[in-house]
């Protein structure tokens, strides 16, 4: 198949899922998709999502709240490119601007409030090629807490993340915990059908949840130290 075979609505649905998930660090609801792409009927949204699922462009788990994600390997194979926000990533020549999308807990998880604005609170400028990763898949978060201090991630630091929905054991990730409506920064370890989110500070206990209750939103690729005033 070709992406040109998709309807305009289906193209816009894919783009909205990408933008929403990157901004909120969890996927949109069917109602939010409809509101964004101009479909008032949830059944029509469901029809289009089912079609995208049949084409293997999205993955749905109907047993899980917000159980929706893009099949990025398949989309990349077909040459799909996410739309960039108007002034988002292009800085001066040879540099990228990465949006800072808020805070993430390195300690007790910070509740996620879907009603919070999604506009970046600021930007981090990186030299082109610094991370050897596509700039449009990068975002930044401010660290709150000290549970990752033994990994040299301190309270107030900024972490740069590559937006992705999977990660390997031992990688530091931003993870959203379904049901708790919390997001946290921890090392990832999978054991059977359980996910262990491991701190790098002996004062904290691991967070252990069923795998279907944890969503990976990004993998940490760099840490920027923010010096505090004396």
Residues spanned by CATH 2.10.109.10 within the chain? Answer: 95-224
| Residue range 3-18, pLDDT digits in tens | 888 999 999 999 888 8
The verdict on domain 3-77 having CATH code 3.40.640.10 is no
- DSSP element (H, E) containing 187: strand 182-191
What mean pLDDT is predicted for residues 180-184? 82
Q: Which of 104, 112, 103, 108 is nearest to 178 (CA)?
A: 112
pLDDT value at residue 49: 94
Note if 2 is an active site residue.
no
CATH architecture of the domain covering 95-224: Ribbon (2.10)
Q: Which of 165, 174, 162, 163 is nearest to 103 (CA)?
A: 174
The pTM assigned to this predicted structure is 0.58
Around Cβ 92, how many Cβ atoms within 10 Å?
A: 9
pLDDT at 64 over 70: no
Sequence-distant contacts of 4-7: CB under 8 A, at least 24 apart: 6/52, 6/55, 7/48
pLDDT at 154 over 50: yes
76, with CB counted inside 10 A (0-12, 13-18, 19+), is exposed
pLDDT value at residue 26: 76
Q: Is residue 129 very low, low, confident or very high in pLDDT (cuts 50, 70, 90)?
A: low
Note if 213 is an active site residue.
no
Instruction: Say if residues 149 and 201 touch (Cβ distance below 8 Å).
Output: yes
Phi, psi (deg, nearest 5) at residue 68: -145, 135
**Annotated active-site residue in 41, 115, 147, 152:** 147
| Residue range 44-58, pLDDT digits in tens | 999 999 999 999 999
**Annotated active-site residue in 7, 50, 69, 186:** 186
Residues spanned by CATH 1.10.10.10 within the chain? Answer: 3-77
């Amino acid at each position: 198949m070709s992406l040109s075979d998709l309807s305009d609505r289906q193209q816009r649905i894919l783009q909205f899922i990408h933008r929403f998930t990157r901004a909120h660090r969890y996927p949109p609801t069917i109602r939010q998709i409809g509101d964004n792409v101009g479909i008032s009927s949830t059944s029509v949204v469901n029809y289009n999502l089912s079609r995208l699922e049949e084409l293997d462009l999205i993955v749905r788990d109907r047993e899980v709240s917000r159980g929706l994600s893009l099949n990025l390997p398949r989309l990349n194979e077909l040459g799909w490119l996410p739309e960039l926000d108007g002034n988002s990533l292009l800085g001066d020549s040879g540099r990228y601007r990465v949006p800072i999308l808020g805070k993430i807990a390195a300690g007790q998880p910070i509740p996620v409030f879907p009603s919070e604005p999604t506009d970046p609170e600021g930007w981090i400028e990186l030299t082109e090629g610094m991370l050897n990763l596509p700039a449009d898949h990068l975002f930044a978060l401010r660290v709150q807490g000290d549970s990752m201090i033994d990994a040299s991630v301190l309270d107030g630091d900024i972490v740069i993340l590559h937006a992705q929905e999977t990660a390997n054991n031992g990688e530091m990730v931003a993870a959203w915990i379904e049901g708790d409506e919390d997001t946290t920064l921890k090392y990832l370890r999978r054991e059977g059908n359980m996910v262990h989110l491991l701190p790098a500070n002996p004062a904290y206990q691991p967070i252990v949840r069923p795998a279907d209750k944890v969503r990976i939103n990004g993998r940490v690729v760099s840490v920027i130290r923010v010096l505090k005033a004396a």
